[in-house]
Structure 1
């Protein structure tokens, strides 16, 4: 029994931490199902006394939620595809090719971890404004394409592939692009899938940059759009949280469906940063 006591203690602490983490999500879901009158009542009601879908109905009928969803889907998918294509190609060049400035370039990529993304916001905004890309999909997408961790992860896995594969392909007359696309990428589909999922989730959840660069529904993503769910008569908590639940739903579904891959990607990223 004494040997099992530490395990029981850690299990209890884990359950407590999970409950504390999940409670805000539960509270948002419950609040979104309440009439606004019940939301502002004093006291704590863990279950809605008069459950209703009025808040969700308002979000779908009085906002551009579907257009925001389209923008989020389009920008997130584009960011994911471009990040994977650019990062994998860059990693292959750093891993398998030899050129002047190779180590300097890789050092710059590694050093980029020391620069927080928020520190580049002003520079990104000035550049996008100079290019006339404010309030456009391209303006939302371009600054999100710089993801050094995907380059480093790909390079580490490419380094582990035996050199004989590339040498044999070169002797058979294969080009570098054919070697990259037909040998190195297929050998790392698991890594590509994991990175694709976590990149998509990060692009979908991104708020700060789309919030700064989007001024209208033409480019506004769902994470920014839900901040527009308000009235002239004050804050409507149920409607705001209904919008938040709708915005988070695709990411929650993606995580539940690809939980193992997401965990692998997080471990890969954490291992690189560590």
Structure 2
């Protein structure tokens, strides 16, 4: 019985398969991009309509207007909400980078008893939902008299287990020869961390800072509980209260969603290279 040998694999066939695979991937990406863009385009389309036209099942705008945006900027304390969100998010991001980088450096470089147990506690912290801690944290800040202050929003968001894990992963990838060289030059543990390691960690610092800023900016539940003063509300809390008063005024609701998301879109556009470099440097590539 004779067997037929399979045809030899040529470079031309490999190129055809590669092109077919690339086209399939491109098609999948285009499909996901359309699925992601349609709600955003619908939001913009609705925000540019008068409230009377938002109930029509059409994308056409007969009388485009910016009245919804003018209504929000005139009736609400939007600029105060923007200021509060920026202050709390920026301070939260800065404090998280400092605390998480120090903890990650200690777990990566220090050798102490039960270090692995501390690291596992950090990993367990990633799995604990923040909602579980809301009641004890609220009672704690109420006892301290910190409700309706910036500190009530900032302090609970600083301890971030995932940030500690990301910094540790990055520091594990840095050569330890740098530490030994710094130690030979007379640098102590903290000086090595601050003068040698942190300047080399700019990509991961940028990524953690940006993601923490975005997460703090979008946080709704905790600021909603601790901020009852309309002048001190963050932008998600303030816009949520505005939306609650509008009822079926969809144009105003969509305009508020755009105003809340616009700063984050600009942030990603300006710092997208830093975000990619930081994620690649941590080894968390999916």
Q: Distance in 1 between matches of 2:270 and 2:80?
A: 25
Match for residue 196 of structure 1?
Answer: 209
Asked if 1:221 corresponds to 2:226, the answer is no
Instruction: Name structure 2 gaps, 5 residues minimum.
Output: 1-12
Give the greater-gyration-radius structure (CA). 2
Match for residue 121 of structure 1?
Answer: 134
Asked if 1:30 corresponds to 2:45, the answer is yes
Q: TM (normalized to structure 1)?
A: 0.89
Q: Could you tell me whether the CA contact under 8 Å between 1:94 and 1:155 is conserved in 2? A: yes
Instruction: Name structure 1 gaps, 5 residues minimum.
Output: none
Match for residue 209 of structure 1?
Answer: 222
Q: What root-mean-square deviation, in Å, do the aligned CA atoms of Structure 1 and Structure 2 show?
A: 2.3
Q: Distance in 1 between matches of 2:269 and 2:35?
A: 20
C-alpha distance after superposition, 1:96-128 (max 9, x if no partner): 223344332212101112212222222322222
Q: Distance in 1 between matches of 2:36 and 2:264?
A: 17
Match for residue 147 of structure 1?
Answer: 160
Q: TM (normalized to structure 2)?
A: 0.86
Match for residue 84 of structure 1?
Answer: 97
Q: Residues 225 and 101 of structure 1: is their aligned pair in 2 closer, same or farther, counting only changes over 3 Å?
A: same
C-alpha distance after superposition, 1:186-225 (max 9, x if no partner): 1111111122111111111112211222112243100111
Corresponding residue pairs, total: 271
After the TM superposition, which of the residue ranges 132-141 and 254-263 deviates more from structure 2?
254-263
Q: Could you tell me whether the CA contact under 8 Å between 2:205 and 2:278 is conserved in 1? A: no
DSSP 3-state at the match of 1:50: coil
